Structure 1
Amino acid sequence: MSLETIQAKLELRELVDAYATLTDEKRISDQMLLFTPDTQFKVYMSDQLVANVSGTAQLEEEFNGHVSLVKRYFSLNGQHVVNVDGDTATGVVFSHIKMLRDGEEGTEVLTDYSVQYHDVYVRQNEKWLIKERTSKYIFVEAKVLQS
């Protein structure tokens, strides 16, 4: 493996970790800087397409709507399998996400998500960006937290 490929893989890992960190911090405007302006973002729950967004303007609107419903996030990235080809790359990120929301009658609901992000990356102006992201929610478990 060449030094350039190793460097690209390190930078791509930093990119996907920045995405998770910015999600946890609810810094959506900063998160949009990780995407190409013409990005494509899809979400599948099991095999059903539930979201298909084009461009960072629409993506930021969608994310802000979602963030308004969530009290706290906690994201943990696992494997990141990447194939680099010059200034383009593809990758799969395995992630575990927890979201805490208000439930009924003063309760809180904790939802655990096991997700695979299937990505297409491009390097523009010496910086890696996410051009396409397909989120596949494999397992979803919600429970009401006891007071």
Structure 2
Amino acid sequence: MTNTEIANRLALKELVDTFSNLADTKDVCAQMKLFKEDAKVVSINGDQKFVSEGKEAIGKAFSDYLDLFHTVYHLNGQQTVSFQYNNHAQGISYCQVVLITNQDGKEVTRTSGVRYQDYYEKIDGNWLIASRESHFIWTKVD
């Protein structure tokens, strides 16, 4: 593995981890800086599929969803990456997502196992998310 490939792998791990950190603080404005202008996000949860295209639509979808919860917590796991040309890559990363809200005076915790299928593009020396499919593999509600 070359030094360039190692640097790119580290940068992509940082990109994915930064996305999660910003979700936890609900800083959607900063999250949108991690996406290409014409990015696409698809969230798949069972039979439900939600598609957002473009940073503005993605930002609104993220804000609307995160506003449902008072606590958001992501724990990222493994990530694999393959490179296509010097400025394109794809990756799979795993994450445990915990979302906590109040319903009828009770705390409700949703914990999900999520697999992200990402496509990245390096623009002006920075890796950005070009598209992301979020597959909610399992969810437990307490």
Q: Which range, TM-score by smaller chain?
A: over 0.9
- For 2:66 and 2:20, how far apart are their aligned partners in 1? 13
Q: Deviations over 1:55-88 (max 9, x none)?
A: 0100111111112111011101000000123100
| Matched residue SS, 1:113 | strand
Say whether the 8 Å CA contact 1:9–1:84 is kept in structure 2. Answer: no
Letter in 1 for 2:55: T
* Alpha-carbon RMSD: 0.8
Letter in 2 for 1:39: A
TM-score (norm 1): 0.93
Show the counterpart of 2:140: 141
Show the counterpart of 1:37: 37
- For 1:36 and 1:3, how far apart are their aligned partners in 2? 25
Q: Deviations over 1:10-69 (max 9, x none)?
A: 0000000000000001000000000001001001113x3420110010011111111211
Show the counterpart of 2:125: 126
Structure 2: segments with no counterpart, 5+ residues: none
Summarize the alignment of residues 1-147 of structure 1 with structure 2, pairs less than 5 Å apart: 1-46=1-46, 48-85=47-84, 86-104=86-104, 106-143=105-142
- For 1:13 and 1:4, how far apart are their aligned partners in 2? 14
Q: Percent identity?
A: 28
Letter in 2 for 1:4: T
The list of structure 1 runs, each at least 4 consecutive aligned residues, that deviate by more than 6 angstroms after superposition, is none
TM-score (norm 2): 0.97
- For 2:131 and 2:34, how far apart are their aligned partners in 1? 11
Structure 1: segments with no counterpart, 5+ residues: none
